[in-house]
Structure 1
């Protein structure tokens, strides 16, 4: 095996370290942005900070008055979707776990765009999301059809707030965590505080979606930097590209 001289080795290490620092900085910036979003969610979703132009009343409402349960089945031809803790509702093909679902999808539930779906056994952990798609999901999920009183995206953020997740846990039934479940009959009696003006709900959702988009873009940039570093290492460590000493 041929090796470069000590000085050139040092330069190669220095070059690679500069990419490591760029990656470390990007990771730090992403974490800072996530913390910013978390703090803003706490303020905007509780009415502690209002968006300029909105001063209407926030009202306590039962979730059953804001959402009705969708229990439509026998839509076997629709695409299979999944509800994840990190990405919300995604196409089942995007989930990197084995598909153990049966071929018979007749009891699978239909979900429509802007419906919210949640994992009945894991809602106390905040496993829910708003759907972009029309499709079907496992019978283990509960599907919520929004009324005209709510913006689904606003509510999807509210459902991730620690206080709301604690409410979901409190109303879930079961002796231990592994058996806790929150069926619609219990879900619908939970009370939450929401802006009466749906336009304010949409405005709040817009701010939080913008932060999500920024975080996603920064994540893409991070992966790009990692790939660049990988490619550069391949060139430098094989001598295909030399550094000036």
Structure 2
């Protein structure tokens, strides 16, 4: 019994460490979200930036793209609100596209893709892949290097501010299948800072994303350590020092 109790205590200590890591991640994610909303709307600004934000249409930064699929077999991609742009085989564990994909749209890293039927639910993301997507998606190329930072818009498109905008341009009587035309998307007018301020905002949010990623890796390592410890202690493969 003393050894059983000691093992239980050691396992509970490991589980407590994982829970503490999870709580830290939740706090960091909530902090980043709140800070992003302030920075992306101009409610909070960096010292040294005082130029008023200007009303600018998204068409200044993006242009419709309708490149067709290349002749050789391409990577078929899918757009997800949760996971962004990813290979269809990873999202569904298999390829769902039809045998003939000549009518599919070709995209490259940096292109913007959104589902017009689900934009109201923030189904929009930049692609990190080259491949093809269903013609049901809207595809746009980035043309804003002179005026902006693509990372700023990556954060902006996931903000609560933009979620409201998506609902205003989505049309239809079915609440869950409203369509957002690309023409209306490009006409959206927002207050946007100058390129240098965009970069500062993007740098800070990117640093927070990296910090959250590191914390998640540490949490995963703690969890694996806990599993390994349980396996070894509960089978007697490894015994606590005081009971050897």
Normalising by structure 2, we get a TM-score of: 0.91
Consecutive unaligned residues of structure 1, counting only runs of 5 or more, are 1-5
Task: Provide the C-alpha distance between the structure 1 equivalents of 2:158 and 2:97, rounded to a whole number of angstroms.
Answer: 27
8 Å contact from structure 1 (residues 119, 140) kept in 2: yes
Q: Deviations over 1:132-179 (max 9, x none)?
A: 222211222211212233322211211111121111111101212232
Counterpart in the other structure of 2:236 = 239
Pairs within 5 Å for 1:76-115 = 76-77=71-72, 78-115=74-111
Deviation, structure 1 residue 189: 1.9
Task: Provide the C-alpha distance between the structure 2 equivalents of 1:160 and 1:33, rounded to a whole number of angstroms.
Answer: 17
More displaced 10-residue stretch of structure 1: 200-209 or 145-154: 145-154
Deviation, structure 1 residue 82: 2.2
Task: Provide the C-alpha distance between the structure 2 equivalents of 1:49 and 1:107, rounded to a whole number of angstroms.
Answer: 45
Counterpart in the other structure of 1:219 = 216
Task: Provide the C-alpha distance between the structure 2 equivalents of 1:33 and 1:170, rounded to a whole number of angstroms.
Answer: 31
Counterpart in the other structure of 1:7 = 2
Which residue, 3, 21, 25 being the options, matches 2:16? 21
Deviation, structure 1 residue 95: 2.2
Which residue, 192, 196, 213 being the options, matches 1:199? 196
Which residue, 173, 179, 184 being the options, matches 2:171? 173
Q: Deviations over 1:175-217 (max 9, x none)?
A: 122321212022122211111x212212211111111111111
Counterpart in the other structure of 1:117 = 113
Normalising by structure 1, we get a TM-score of: 0.91
8 Å contact from structure 1 (residues 76, 136) kept in 2: no
Q: Deviations over 1:97-134 (max 9, x none)?
A: 44311121211112222222112221111121122222
More displaced 10-residue stretch of structure 1: 201-210 or 25-34: 201-210
Deviation, structure 1 residue 51: 2.3
- The alignment of Structure 1 onto Structure 2 pairs a total of residues equal to 239
8 Å contact from structure 2 (residues 81, 123) kept in 1: yes
**Which secondary structure does the structure 2 equivalent of 1:193 belong to?**
strand
Pairs within 5 Å for 1:119-134 = 119-134=115-130
Counterpart in the other structure of 1:164 = 162
Provide the aligned C-alpha RMSD in A.
1.7
Consecutive unaligned residues of structure 2, counting only runs of 5 or more, are none
**Which secondary structure does the structure 1 equivalent of 2:46 belong to?**
coil
